[in-house]
Amino acid sequence: MSHSPTQPSNPLNIIVLAGGESAESEISQQSGENVARALSARGHQVVTVDPSLVDLETYDWSTCDVVFLALHGTYGEDGTIQATLERLNVPYSGCDAPTSKLAFSKSASKERFIQRNVSTPSYVLIHESDDAQRIEQHARSMGYPLVVKPDAQGSSLGVTIVKSPEELPQALARCFHYDSFGILESAIAGSEWTVTLVDDEVLPLIQIETPHEFFDYEAKYLEDSTQYHFEFQQPTNVIQSILKTGVGACEALGTSGIVRVDILLDRFQQPWVLEVNTIPGFTDHSLVPKAAARAGLDFGELCEKVLLNRLAKATTRPQN
């Protein structure tokens, strides 16, 4: 497949939505700046809008051709902004509202993965109102180490690897700081990988190596010690299995646009899907620009390609 998108006959008027009020607002601002800069360099007219500062319901969308969503976390990835733009009849990048809502919930995503035979670590859904003894019992049944995560949160915020019962209360407090729901997840020891899809096209696979306990917020966005590998020691069949698992996860959720799948590969060479990110990071530290560059695709081309694909779908959609 060619990586050179068809050039638009006229520059597009693009609004990049970034910032917001979620716990990931700072990263969202960085993503938005990177996207806006890249699209401007392609010759498009780009305006960046922070929905925490502007009322989108009364905003003048008349000159906007399409929106590029760089909103991470709550409101941006949970289907809320997507539903708003759909109601306003404004085309936007990425997944639709129902898919975004599904993917943002780790427990709901896991249920869909299970239905579609996509391997994902076992889990138990918990709530901040649950009796502490009940949660402790679930943890004992699952066995240590285990992972405590907010059900709906990104950038590894609120995630803790718990090695003993003594560490559980603090991990739960951290989790419930970000979400009233959380999950206890079986800890899979292994290497970390990411599969990026642009609609149906798979970008080069990345293996992540970090000195941190796992690929956490600091390793994602702040540390320069994180290493990204495109050459692998694993045999071809294992690499193909990782890619197939990533594609299967996206198919299970029905994603579109730029999507990143986080995967663990265990010591038996079995891939396990952790989550699907429907609006992954677009910062200089982020994985998506690195995968695009490896594919020979300029980041501006990547962003443009997604928007042109979205507009093409809008023009070919049957009218009711």
Contact 261, 276 (CB under 8 A): yes
Answer whether the bond into residue 5 is a cis peptide, omega within 30°: no
Contact 313, 111 (CB under 8 A): no
Would residue 24 show up in a list of annotated catalytic residues for this protein? yes
CA atoms within 13 A on the CB side of 114: 9
Would residue 155 show up in a list of annotated catalytic residues for this protein? yes
Instruction: Say whether 205 sits in a helix, a strand or coil.
Output: coil
Please check if 275 is assigned to a binding site. yes
Please check if 284 is assigned to a binding site. no
Q: Strand pairing partners for 190?
A: 266
Q: How far apart are CA 129 and CA 270, in angstroms?
A: 35
Catalytic residue among 31, 192, 286, 304: 286
Q: How far apart are CA 105 and CA 150, in angstroms?
A: 9
Q: How far apart are CA 284 and CA 209, in angstroms?
A: 17
Question: Closest by alpha carbon to 22, among 62, 71, 61, 90?
Answer: 71
Please check if 277 is assigned to a binding site. yes
Catalytic residue among 22, 155, 156, 241: 155
Would residue 286 show up in a list of annotated catalytic residues for this protein? yes
Q: How far apart are CA 249 and CA 196, in angstroms?
A: 11
Catalytic residues: 24, 155, 286
Q: List binding-site positions for Mg(2+).
A: 262, 275, 277
